């Protein structure tokens, strides 16, 4: 006798089963007995289901992500700086547990040292960029660019090995909140350091506005006051994109913005010979950069830069940024971001789009090296 499968009968059973599950689920939800209380945690089965979905989603979505070189000190430090202001509140840091209120979350933010060894870099990237829905894990504040997220991943990979002192050194450098209430400004006047600079800017930009010599935190010392104000407003309004600076600027009001901008603009910008760019070793690059800055590249339709970014401070009285003495790595990154239309900026930022579109990569490097080699007062 031939065994015949009665598909019709099976289909009926399946539909009835699904209906019962759907009605049962609806009764649980509508009746209000399904727990949403963080205090009681998840049922084991819910926990399993959520974890399973998370693992599958992370694996699938991170599959094709290409990992850049992450073993780079400046990236690690940049990531550490961001961790200090954007992650530590929930995840703690070496030697510091997060505040008790965080332990009342469901799910609890895990200890980073425990999760990192379980994850591939591209998975960490996906999680940090997109966050995890229905948990407290937030998405990266600025979805436009990935370079900053990679810096955080570079830092996370080092995290499990860090001692408390090593962490402090990476996240804040030599900065101590107790130090420097006044600092030398222009013309030997001592400036009082605004409270906000010590509380929220100095860890990355320094009390002296020198940006920790790494090329990732721009110098603010001697920058144009009007440009600083307009830029902080642009970060606040999500017109300039940075996952690190947008939340920082979002926390301060207009009075504070004016105060810190005034302060940093009054500082000398100091020597500009320290960045990772190694300007001294590339006099040819600087010379080529000088040519571009001064005369532009007529055959490529690139205007000269000095029209808007003069190399001397004297006649300089507009809201455009000074580039003199700024880190070459930072300038080059900004030029690339302009080119990809990912930088954003103040209302005048689109002036730069026409400028960068015809610049080649090596020309961006050269002109950045040239501006870095200039001193503030030249």
Name the residue number minimizing CB distance to ligand HEC: 345
What is the smallest separation between the CB atom of 81 and ligand HEC, expressed in angstroms?
A: 4
**119 is a contact residue toward ligand HEC (CB under 6 A):** yes
Report d(CA 83, CA 116) in Å as an integer.
14
**157 is a contact residue toward ligand HEC (CB under 6 A):** no
What is the smallest separation between the CB atom of 293 and ligand HEC, expressed in angstroms?
A: 6
Report d(CA 248, CA 200) in Å as an integer.
8
**355 is a contact residue toward ligand HEC (CB under 6 A):** yes
Nearer to ligand HEC, 71 or 368 (CB): 368
What is the smallest separation between the CB atom of 171 and ligand HEC, expressed in angstroms?
A: 8
What is the smallest separation between the CB atom of 187 and ligand HEC, expressed in angstroms?
A: 23
**367 is a contact residue toward ligand HEC (CB under 6 A):** yes
Measured N-to-C along each axis, helices 254-265 and 225-236 cross at an angle, to the nearest 10 degrees, of 140
* Candidate list 224, 282, 311, 334; residue touching ligand HEC; CB under 6 A: 334
Contacts with ligand HEC in 223-252 (CB under 6 A)?
Answer: 228, 231-232, 242, 244-245, 248, 252
What is the smallest separation between the CB atom of 368 and ligand HEC, expressed in angstroms?
A: 7
Nearer to ligand HEC, 13 or 42 (CB): 42
Binding mask 187-216 for ligand HEC (x = CB under 6 A): ---------x---xx-xxx----------x
Binding residues with ligand HEC: total (CB under 6 A):
66
Binding mask 262-281 for ligand HEC (x = CB under 6 A): --------------------
* Candidate list 209, 222, 325, 345; residue touching ligand HEC; CB under 6 A: 345
Strand partners, 96: 93
What is the smallest separation between the CB atom of 307 and ligand HEC, expressed in angstroms?
A: 5
* Candidate list 176, 184, 307, 361; residue touching ligand HEC; CB under 6 A: 307
Query: 41 Cβ partners below 8 Å, 6+ apart?
Result: 47, 106
What is the smallest separation between the CB atom of 186 and ligand HEC, expressed in angstroms?
A: 18
CA nearest neighbour of 368 among 338, 313, 337, 323: 323
Candidates 22-30, 160-168, 269-277, 319-327; binding stretch for ligand HEC (CB under 6 A): 319-327
**Residues at the site binding ligand HEC, with contacts judged by CB under 6 A:** 54, 78, 81-82, 85-87, 89-91, 105, 107, 109-110, 115, 119, 124, 127-128, 132, 135-138, 152, 156, 196, 200-201, 203-205, 216-218, 220, 228, 231-232, 242, 244-245, 248, 252, 260, 292, 302-303, 305, 307-309, 320-321, 323, 331, 334-335, 345-346, 348-349, 351-352, 355, 367
């Amino acid at each position: 006798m031939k065994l015949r499968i009665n598909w019709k009968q099976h289909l009926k059973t399946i539909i009835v089963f699904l209906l019962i599950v759907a009605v049962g689920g609806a009764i649980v939800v509508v009746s209000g007995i399904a727990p949403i209380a963080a205090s009681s945690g998840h049922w084991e089965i819910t926990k399993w289901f959520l974890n399973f979905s998370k693992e599958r989603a992370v694996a699938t979505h991170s599959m094709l992500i290409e990992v850049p070189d992450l073993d780079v000190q400046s990236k690690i430090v940049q990531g550490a700086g961001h961790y200090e202001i954007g992650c530590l509140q929930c995840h703690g840091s070496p030697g510091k547990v997060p505040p008790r209120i965080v332990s009342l979350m469901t799910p609890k933010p895990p200890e980073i040292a425990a999760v990192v060894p379980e994850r591939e870099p591209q998975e960490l990237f996906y999680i940090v960029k997109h966050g995890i829905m229905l948990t407290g894990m937030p998405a990266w504040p600025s979805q436009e660019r990935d370079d900053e997220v990679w810096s955080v991943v570079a830092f996370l990979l080092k995290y499990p090995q860090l001692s408390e002192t090593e962490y402090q050194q990476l996240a804040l450098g030599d900065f101590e909140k107790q130090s420097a209430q006044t600092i030398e400004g222009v013309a030997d006047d001592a400036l009082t350091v605004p409270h906000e600079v010590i509380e929220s800017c100095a860890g990355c930009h320094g009390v002296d506005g020198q940006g920790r010599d790494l090329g990732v935190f721009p110098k603010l010392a001697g920058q144009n006051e009007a440009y600083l104000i307009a830029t902080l407003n642009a970060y606040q309004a999500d017109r300039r994109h940075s996952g690190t600076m947008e939340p920082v600027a979002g926390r301060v009001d207009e009075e504070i913005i004016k105060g810190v901008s005034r302060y940093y603009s009054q500082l000398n910008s100091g020597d500009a010979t320290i960045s990772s760019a190694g300007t001294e070793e590339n006099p040819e690059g600087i010379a080529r950069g000088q040519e571009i800055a001064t005369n532009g590249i007529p055959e490529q339709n690139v205007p000269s830069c000095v029209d808007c970014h003069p190399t001397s401070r004297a006649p300089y009285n507009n809201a455009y940024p000074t580039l003199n003495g700024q880190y070459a790595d930072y300038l080059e990154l900004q030029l690339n971001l302009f080119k990809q239309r990912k930088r954003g900026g103040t209302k005048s930022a689109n002036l730069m789009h026409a400028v960068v579109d015809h610049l080649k990569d090596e020309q961006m490097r050269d002109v950045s090296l040239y501006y870095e080699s200039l001193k503030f007062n030249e």
